[in-house]
Structure 1
Amino acid sequence: MIFHLETAKSQHCGCSPILCCSKNGYCGANDDYCFSGCQSGPCRKSREPLDRIVTQQFFDRIISQANNNCGGKRFYTRDSFLEAANTTSDFNSSTTRLEIAAMFAHFTHETEHFCYIEEVNGSSRDYCDENNRQYPCAPGKNYYGRGPFLLSWNYNYGPCGQSLGLDLLRQPELVGSSPTVAFRTGLWFWINSVRPVLSQGFGATIRAINRMECNGGNPGAVNARVEYYTEYCKQLGVIKPVANNTC
């Protein structure tokens, strides 16, 4: 069975175009808003499991564009993403096709179609904030970008590891050695730093991930992210918001 999103006739709920207006007139993104009684926005005809959104075909369309010699092509898998999502509280029950389109647009840009597991030449850079006493750098460890969002710096590895029940300060290499851990770190970053601004439009998610690209800093990167997002919205059968796509 194939599920589709539909946009119901607006009844003056006043929600962002990427949020649902519930039967009681409140804005939100999970099934309480987008399922039974949904008035407007990306309403759903039925509860939709994540594996019906992120199909093997959708994932393969992305990773097939990576070069065959890319390490990520033999590392990232749809199953590892779903496994990571299943261990992430409140992700499966509240995500939408539009959110997946946004998330995978950024995954695609950051990793070049899941080509890269780690930041290119990252080991030559210093990502230790020695002034951060809460999450001190472990001797001999480097916190360069790893995973689908290129998690960087000790002040990100520390709280991320705490949330996942892993000691990523002492073992940051875990992110680059386990695809499930890599995706779990990506979901941690998404939920804590990106999802809170998703209702403001795709442009706000770009700024949350890499604000240096915005305001003319790197228009090529911004345009690439928007193009991926637009394409994935089409592939997933959702209506792309008409405003606030760039930063």
Structure 2
Amino acid sequence: MQRLLAPLLALLLAAGALAMVVPAAAGAAACATPWSASAVYNGGAAVSHNGHNWSAKWWTQNETPGGAAVWADQGTCGGGGGGPTCNYPDWVAGRNYPAGSIVRYTDGAHYIAVHENPGYDPVISHWYWDPYTCGGGPTDPPDPSGFVVSEAQFNQMFPSRNSFYTYSGLTTAMSAFPAFAKTGGDTIRKQEAAAFLANVNHETGGLVHIVEQNTANYPHYCDRSQSYGCPAGQAAYYGRGPIQLSWNFNYKAAGDALGLPLLTNPWLVQQDAAVAWKTALWYWMTQNGPGTMTAHNAMVGSRGFGETIRSINGSLECNGGNPGQVQSRVNAYQRFTQILGVSPGGNLTC
């Protein structure tokens, strides 16, 4: 019986039909997590590739161990003590994958299906797949929203946030704008999420303030030249929410787009977390503001974080208007991209 099982097992493994974790052979160092072309590694990061462990000398992405000077060879691996190595089947386009399936992508990285799918590309379809740390489970618990920022990372970004600004409110609001942080590759998606949250951080003092703090400004946000006027009152359209929505015409436009009565009831933005996040995403995704493009298009078009500042505050901060405020936004963006493990890219200021 054992003679029959051994050849059968070998055939199943060769065909990729059996996914299993195989303990490393004794006598060599245990293999670190396999290198991934799409992952970002900081100095000191350990990976395995082609039977060797490697250590990153400095920040790197998409530089192959053994062919790039950034990687220092730490010797052969495949043995004892450091945990198992993975032997999951290669991903196949068009093959049905139930939730929980684990596959090896073409770049050597592993992914776990968080939703059943008919063979969507793991690098493109983040809603359906999460990165999987070989032998150790997903990098973060699967998030049904498919957001590139986990709740733990969100809390790390905003340690003093007001309890009003919930993570669930944000992920609920994202359903109104499905292209947000889900356009382009993993790097672009993470950069856009970091850029949005960095600007939000600046506008709200770290997600602390729900409404504009300078109450003297409140009566100034009523433009009575609009045919609909200010039905909620002269001083009702002050800044609220993550990007501090203000002016009666912005409440009218956001309300129309979102199907909410914000012109007559602007207080909804400070009472409902999902509504507050939706207004911020509405501005980010659809409004050029004082810039020449939406903040979303600035990030997915690789125009840089600085262009998002222009779309939010234009000449008030850009072109020397207030370099200190610009730098505050940039500092937050760089901190958030570091938390997400992605490079901030260029063109950071305006």
The match for 1:195 among 273, 296, 299 is: 296
Corresponding letter in the other structure for 1:171: N
Aligned to 1:156: 250
SS of 1:74's partner is coil
In the other structure, the counterpart of 1:168 is 262
Query: 1:48 corresponds to which residue?
Result: 126
Q: CA deviation at 1:184?
A: 0.4
Name which of structure 1's ranges 91-100 and 232-241 shifts more when overlaid on structure 2. 91-100
Aligned residue pair count? 207
- Residue matched to 1:115: 208
Q: Which runs of 5+ in 2 are unaligned?
A: 1-35, 41-60, 64-104, 107-121, 128-144, 288-294
The answer to which structure has the higher strand fraction is 2
Q: Note the C-alpha offset of 1:206.
A: 0.3
CA distance in 1 between partners of 2:326 and 2:182 (Å): 29
Change (3 A) 1:52 1:145: closer
Preserved contact between residue 147 and residue 176 of structure 1 (Cα < 8 Å): yes
* 2:158 paired residue number: 63
**Is contact 2:232-2:263 (8 Å) kept?**
no
Structure-1 separation of matches of 2:190 and 2:206: 19
* Secondary structure of residue in 2 paired with 1:217: coil
Contact 2:181-2:192 at 8 Å conserved across structures: no
TM-score, normalised via structure 1 length: 0.75
Matching of residues 127-146 of structure 1 within 5 Å = 127-133=221-227, 135-140=228-233, 142-146=236-240
CA deviation digits over 1:141-198, x for unaligned, max 9? 5111000000010111101000110110000000000000000001100001221333
Assess if the C-alpha contact under 8 Å between 1:118 and 1:147 holds in 2.
Answer: yes
- Native 8 Å contact 2:241 2:270 kept in 1: yes
Greater fraction of residues in helix: 1
Per the TM alignment, residue 51 of structure 1 is displaced from its structure 2 partner at its CA by 4.1
Does structure 2 retain, via aligned residues, the 8 Å contact 1:62–1:114?
no
Task: Give the drift of 1:91.
Answer: 3.2
Deviating more after overlay: 183-192 vs 89-98: 89-98
Q: Which residue of 216, 220, 227 corresponds with 2:320? A: 216
Structure possessing the higher radius of gyration over alpha carbons: 2
Change (3 A) 1:171 1:54: same
Give the Å deviation of 1:5.
4.5
User: Per-residue CA shift, 1:81-133, capped at 9, x if unaligned?
Assistant: 00111233433642711100100000111111110001103465220111122
Q: How does 1:70-89 map to 2 (within 5 A)?
A: 73-89=162-178
Matched to 2:331, the amino acid is: E
How well do the aligned residues superpose, as a CA RMSD in angstroms? 2.7
Rounded Cα–Cα distance in structure 2 between residues aligned with 1:56 and 1:115: 17
Q: Do the aligned partners of 1:85 and 1:91 also contact (CA within 8 Å) in 2?
A: yes
Q: Which runs of 4+ in 1 moved over 4 A?
A: 3-9
1:63 CA drift (Å): 2.4
Residue aligned with 1:166, SS? coil
For the 8 Å contact 1:59–1:78, the answer to whether it is kept is yes
CA distance in 2: counterparts of 1:166 and 1:58, whole angstroms = 30
Unaligned runs of 5+ in 1: 10-35, 38-43, 67-72
Higher relative contact order (CA 8 A, sep 6+): 1
Distance 2:177 2:276 in 1: 13
Paired with 2:181 and 2:173, the residues of 1 have a C-alpha distance of 10
State whether residues 232 and 265 of structure 2, in contact with CA within 8 Å, keep that contact through their aligned partners in structure 1.
Answer: no
Identify the range of structure 1 (123-132 vs 52-61) with the bigger mean alpha-carbon deviation: 123-132
